[in-house]
Every structure is written in structure tokens, then in C-alpha cells.
Amino acid sequence: MPTRFLIIGCGSIGKRHLGNLKQLGVQDIIAFDIRPERRQEVQQRFGVPVFAELSAALDQNPGAAVVCTPTSLHLPHALAAAQANYHLFIEKPIADSLEGIEELLAEVRRRRLVTFVQCNFRFHPGLRLVKSLLEEEKIGRVVSARAQFGQYLPDWHPWEDYRQSYSARKDLGGGVILDRIHEIDYLRWLLGEVTEVFAVMGHLSHLEVDTEDVAEIFLRFATGTLGSIHLDYVRRTYDCSLEIIGDEGIIRWRYQDHLLSWYLAKESQWYSRQWPRYEGNMMYLEAMRNFLRALQGEEASAQDAAEGVRVLAIALAAKQAALEGKMLIV
């Protein structure tokens, strides 16, 4: 396994991954950020060298790079690291466009790099139990699924001006569809490949953003299952939830309540499981553990670059479908 890791981007998610790497026993870490106040904070808080130029950081010969910059910079930063022969851990989504993405995939294949696109909800114990219930066909044939996410954007990072965040800015790859690609990712992980997508979206609130702040996405899966996703930057109380309907039961998961419930028609009974002390960072820790194990050859990456590109293609197709007003085959 590489001994030195490079954190590219020292915003909140970069600092989270840096802290988690240290918690998992990785001590040789360096970082890069263009903002001097972030460089100073990371140096003081974590005691790691921080560089103002990416080229200077790459010259330090890290073995793996953790890409945590705004979405529009993921591709150029990941490509620079791949060309320098570094394994890649990339924050979701892998990019904000498919333009140039084949160059990154070709570089990864040619150099046989380990890649991981970080969609942490795959590591939530509730969703993992949902996957087990589906694999065991506990609720029979799945006919539909509904995922929902909503949170008031200014509440995400109350210590900073939301208008300057990448979420609020189209030029940085923001917008609720790409920002919350989690829902597309975990529905595909649970229900299989997506074959068709339709969406409607808009900037409907008072928020000072130049991106969509509300979206409804409609999916058809290869199995015939129908799916829908609601996303917004507007909801004043946090909601992240899922309901799956089968011909023999129902599954309901609510992240904020740390609760999973399922109904089995054959038994006419509800069952439930709760995680009263579950902390969100545990998902990020499990994601990083998967990457470290993949680097050691102990297990496969939960989502490599090629899979990350597939999920991005579905999200971008949703945005295009909303603009064209028609369902698209993906």
C-alpha cells in the first residue's frame, strides 16, 4: 500500500478525509489548497505539510491522491494525479461533465491504478440491510422505489456564505442533481441498472444560486422497476429517506431517524431496526477502509472510476431530459 497520501482540496470534506486517514493509521499525509487560510488551518490542526501548487505537491511522490476540490475541478486534478501514477480516491461525483472523461479512464487502465469514487451512503448499515432484504427477496418482486433528500442549503455549512459554495454555482459543478448524486447511486446499487430517465428541475426558491434547487427524477430499471427521486436545497428540516414497494411487502428507511422498517405481507407484520448512536462519519470511515483494503489487494473497490462515470452519465441524462422535456435512454 502507498505510504504517502495527498489530500487535494482542504475544504470540509478534505479535512474529514484527512482526519479519517489519520484515525485509520495513515500518518504520512500531505495536502494542497489554493486558499492560504485553509493551508494555515490544516497545518495547525493536523500538522501536515500543505502546498499552494498542485505540481509541487505531486513532486513529493505520494502514492495515492484524495480529490476533494469542487466538482468542476475533479477531472483535471484526478487526471494530473493519474498521469503522475497515483491511485485515486475521488469525491462524488467523479466530474461535472463527460467531456475528457475517457482520457482519465484510459490513464487508469494503462497504469492499472486503484480507483474509488466516494459515495458514502453505500456504507450506511441501514441501506446495507435494505440490500440484504432485497437479495433475500423478502418483499417479493420490487415494483417501485422512492428516494428523497431535502435540506436548506444555507444550513449545510452555516459557518460560510452558501452563495460562494460550489453547490450554489454552476461554474463549480453545483446544483442539487449532481450534489446529491447519492440517491441515483444507491438506487442503482440496490435495484440494478437504469435504462431510462426523465426529470423536471428548476430554481424555484428565493435562494441566491444559479443552479437548480429542486428536481424530480424518474427512472426505469432493467428489471422493469420504476423509481423516483425528489431532491431540493429548500426543505427547512433535513430529510433523507427511502421507500421500496414489492408485491409481498414494503421497506422504509429514514437516515435522520436511524431507522429501518419492513413489512412482510405473508406474516402481516412490521419489523424494525434502529441505530440510536449512529454517527454519519462512520460511513466515511468505512469508505476509506474499503479504499485502503483495495490498495492492499484485500477487496475490490466498492465503486471504481468506470462505475462512477456510469452514475454521472445517468445524472447528466436527467439534467438533459429536463431541458428537452422527454425521457432519455441511458
Share of the chain above pLDDT 90, in %: 96
Q: What is the per-residue pLDDT for 80?
A: 98
Please determine, for residue 272, whether its predicted confidence score (pLDDT) is greater than 90.
yes
List of domains in the chain: 4-113 (3.40.50.720), 121-278+310-329 (3.30.360.10)
Instruction: Supply the pLDDT for residue 320.
Output: 98
pLDDT of amino acid 277:
79
Cβ within 8 Å of residue 213, ≥6 positions away = 153, 176, 202, 203, 204, 205, 207, 232, 233, 234
Phi, psi angles (nearest 5°) of residue 93 = -75, 165
Mean pLDDT within 263-292: 95
Tell me the pairing of strands 269-274 and 259-264: antiparallel
Confidence band of 62 (pLDDT split at 50, 70, 90): confident
Q: Do 101 and 94 form a contact (C-beta atoms < 8 A)? A: yes
Provide the β-strand partners of residue 273. Answer: 260
Is the predicted pLDDT of residue 132 greater than 80, yes or no? yes
75-96: average pLDDT: 98
Q: Using a pLDDT cut of 70, give the percent of the chain over it.
A: 100
The pLDDT of residue 55 is 97
Predicted confidence (pLDDT) at residue 1 exceeds the cutoff of 90: no
Tell me the average pLDDT across 285-298: 97
246 neighbors 140 (Cβ within 8 angstroms)? yes
pLDDT over 80 at 72, yes or no? yes
Please report the pLDDT score of residue 3 as a whole number.
82
Confidence of residue 176 (pLDDT cuts 50, 70, 90): very high
Q: For 28-49, how does the pLDDT look when each residue is reduced to its tens digit (9 = 90+)?
A: 999 999 999 999 999 999 999 9
What is this structure's pTM? Answer: 0.97
Q: Can you tell me the mean pLDDT for 91-102?
A: 98
The model's confidence at residue 278, banded by pLDDT at 50, 70 and 90, is confident
Number of other CB atoms surrounding residue 293 within 10 Å = 16
Please give the pLDDT value at position 276.
80
pLDDT of residue 149: 98
Mean pLDDT of the chain: 97
